[in-house]
Amino acid sequence: MKKVIFTIFWLVIIGVGLKCCLRADIPEKEDNVITTPDISKIEYPADNKNIILNGFDYLQSQAPLGRFGGEIVISAIGEGPKTFNPCNTKDATSSAMAGLMFDGLLTTHPKTGKVVPLLAKSYEVNGNDYTIHLRKGIKWTDSKDITADDVMYTYNEIVFKGLGNPSAMDAMMIEGKLPELTKIDNYTVKFTIQKPFAPFLRQLSYPIVPKHYFKPYSDKGASTFNAFLNPDTNPKSIVSNGPFKLKEYVAAQRVVFERNPNYYKVNLNNEKLPYIDKLIYLIVGDTNNEILKFEAKEIDLIGLKGNNVARYKEKEANSDYTIYNLGPDTGTLFLTINLNGRKDKNGKYYVNPVKQKWFQNKNFRQAINYAIDRKSMIQNIAFGVAEPLFTAESLNSIYLNRNLKAISRDKVKAMQLLKDEGFEYKYGKLYDKNGNYVEFDLYTNAGNLEREALGVMIKQDLEELGMKVNFKPIEFNSLVNKLTNTYDWDFAIMGLTGSPLEPHDGKNVWTSTGSLHMFNMRGSSNADSYIYTWEKELDELFGNGALKLNFEERKPIYDRYQEIVYEENPVIYLYSPTRIIAIRKKIKNIFPTPLSGLLYNLDEIYIDKSCPAGTSEVK
């Protein structure tokens, strides 16, 4: 009897084991499922129009008419919002949520990236004067009028005083001076700046806040203001002007917004938008949980990564969602090289002088660039859901220099470049002119699986050149400390987000005194030492670029900066991930753009209840 049971037991174990090995269980698809962005075929509605109804200046959406009612559930990864104060947001989740509740004067056109009015009715630029005309008759959620006083208050008493998140003030500071703001009448204000400064106009997208509600707190100083509108504020007390207002916040679980009935945007029938009653953010801890929630139909939208893209694409045909490819995002992944030639306080070099000779050699860096196999990185690490990157501007930037050619892997050329510089091979190992074996460290932040995988591939690629690479993933905070404080590193794999609209935002990285000028960081004490000629040129380019106002005038300047980075390779760009988003079919009026993503028009989006809830289940 016992024997029989044992035999059955073992048979089951072996059976299960064999089943696991079956190929059919593992879909093996290597080809790129998604090749071209399918959003190129979308027909976008015309631009919003200003109309006057009963003496009020409304903004009319030209999107197709929808139905009122319903709710959309989306997810926010992380711990949830830290504050609902739009002037004090420091993280992406908080600013996205504050952005729903508070509109700024101007905004970015979702498709062209041009600056267009939002809360303002119109604007005029006349030399260094920026005149803003406000809408008449539009109201805060507590039915008080939005007037020039609120704009004056927001800029004079919050932004220019550096209350909340001071980066807004930093961005408006032009050579140490703040713009002047004058009130012309109740619905007109004028900004005057000292000298032409291109990034200024976009800064006017700063959220406008109600003076009567904010002033008692801003008067009490920074610490009171920073605690103002923290997440445990009673939602009913918040006065805002955006398309949605806060309904409920449950810590670590969800944030619920409801439509603002006082919003100033109307549809083609002149009915007040937004269409949806509620917008719910579920706070999820990580992407795995997010996927589960999407599959359990608890959320309506998900950003897909890596191998999930192929899995979802296969099932898209008979499912209740559509997948959009929004093209490469603004994030960049890169390998950077430490060109620092300075000594620390104790007279010790940050970088070993032997290594300095290699790293500061332009051809050495170029050889590295040729040795890297971006194609297989994208295939193996990003599962094909990325595009190779060679420029300092991200691929969806309107300033992208399209003349810079893609570099494909060329081991022979890389070796030739090294040999020309006096490096030589002995038994397959690379030695420099002075007989030093080429060996250095490569850092990245541990725990980031993508960067760890990149590190392994880069190590392999460079070891084929005969170099010895010690790949060391270290804790994120320690890595940042090395890059920005102690400067004792050789190579590092990092990522940064950029702006697709304003290249001047990269000044901290590219100007020689920038706080993120990682590849040649200098303390404030020795600002001018060891500056490379191309670094000087970059400084000049960034200085000039900000002074020109026209896109046509600025483009060549920023083209040149990308060219310099492309030639000098202090930073070697790897790839940009592609944004792929799945959204339920019942959600209509979706007009995704590469610049603004998918949910920029939440006030126009509506739910089509007649839409079938999906013909097959998602598994």
Partner 1 sequence: MGITKYITKRILQVIPLLILVSLISFFIIRLSPIDPLAELRLNPSISEETLQKEIKRLNLDKPIAIQYISWAKSFVKGDLGYTSDGEKVSVKLKERIPNTLLLTSIVIFLTWMVGIPLGIIAAVKKETAFDRILTVLSSIGMAIPSFFFAILLLMFAVKTGWFPVGGLTSYNFNDMNLFHKFIDLSKHLVLPVAVLFAISLSGLQRQMRANMLEVLDSDYVKFARAKGLSEFKVVFKHALRNAVNPMITLLGFEFAGLLSGAALTEYVFQYPGLGRLILEAVMKSDINLVMASLMIGTIMLILGNLIADILLMLTDPRTRKTQEAK
By CB under 8 A, name the binding residues for partner 1. Answer: 73, 79, 82-83, 88, 90-91, 165-167, 170-171, 226-227, 230-232, 248, 250-254, 256, 280, 282-285, 289, 292-293, 295-298, 475-478, 480-481, 484, 496-498, 505-506, 508-509, 515-516, 619
CB 87 within 8 A of CB 166: no
As to burial, measured by CB atoms within 10 angstroms (0-12 exposed, 13-18 middle, 19+ buried), residue 475 is exposed
| Identity of the residue, 336 or 366, whose beta carbon is nearer to partner 1 in the bound complex | 336
**Which residue type occupies 275?**
Y
Two structure tokens written together for 524: 């404030």
Query: From the centroid of its chain, how far is CA 29?
Result: 30
| Identity of the residue, 91 or 271, whose beta carbon is nearer to partner 1 in the bound complex | 91
For the CB of residue 437, give the shortest distance to partner 1 in the complex, in Å. Answer: 29
Q: Which residues have CB under 8 Å from 354's CB, separation 6+?
A: 432, 434, 436
For the CB of residue 82, give the shortest distance to partner 1 in the complex, in Å. Answer: 4
For the CB of residue 91, give the shortest distance to partner 1 in the complex, in Å. Answer: 8
Helix/strand/coil (H/E/C) assignment for every residue in 15-55: HHHHHHHCHHHCCCCCCCCCCCCHHHHCCCCCCCEEEEECC
CB 299 within 8 A of CB 290: yes
For the CB of residue 251, give the shortest distance to partner 1 in the complex, in Å. Answer: 4
For the CB of residue 268, give the shortest distance to partner 1 in the complex, in Å. Answer: 31
Q: Is 377 helix (H, G, I), strand (E, B) or coil?
A: helix
Q: Which residues have CB under 8 Å from 158's CB, separation 6+?
A: 87, 164, 209, 214, 218, 225
Cross-strand pairs, 445: 474
For the CB of residue 270, give the shortest distance to partner 1 in the complex, in Å. Answer: 30
Helix/strand/coil (H/E/C) assignment for every residue in 246-315: EEEEECCCEEEEEECCCCCEECCCCCECCCCCEEEEEEECCHHHHHHHHHCCCCCEEEECCHHHHHHHHH
Residue in the block written with tokens 């579920």: 282
| Identity of the residue, 73 or 599, whose beta carbon is nearer to partner 1 in the bound complex | 73
For the CB of residue 256, give the shortest distance to partner 1 in the complex, in Å. Answer: 6
| Identity of the residue, 204 or 280, whose beta carbon is nearer to partner 1 in the bound complex | 280
| Identity of the residue, 518 or 598, whose beta carbon is nearer to partner 1 in the bound complex | 518
Q: Which of 275, 361, 144 is nearest to 606 (CA)?
A: 275
For the CB of residue 295, give the shortest distance to partner 1 in the complex, in Å. Answer: 5
| Identity of the residue, 103 or 258, whose beta carbon is nearer to partner 1 in the bound complex | 258
Helix axes 449-463, 362-371, angle to 10 degrees: 110
| Identity of the residue, 354 or 446, whose beta carbon is nearer to partner 1 in the bound complex | 446
| Identity of the residue, 308 or 325, whose beta carbon is nearer to partner 1 in the bound complex | 308
For the CB of residue 369, give the shortest distance to partner 1 in the complex, in Å. Answer: 23
The total number of residues shown for the chain amounts to 619
| Identity of the residue, 137 or 166, whose beta carbon is nearer to partner 1 in the bound complex | 166
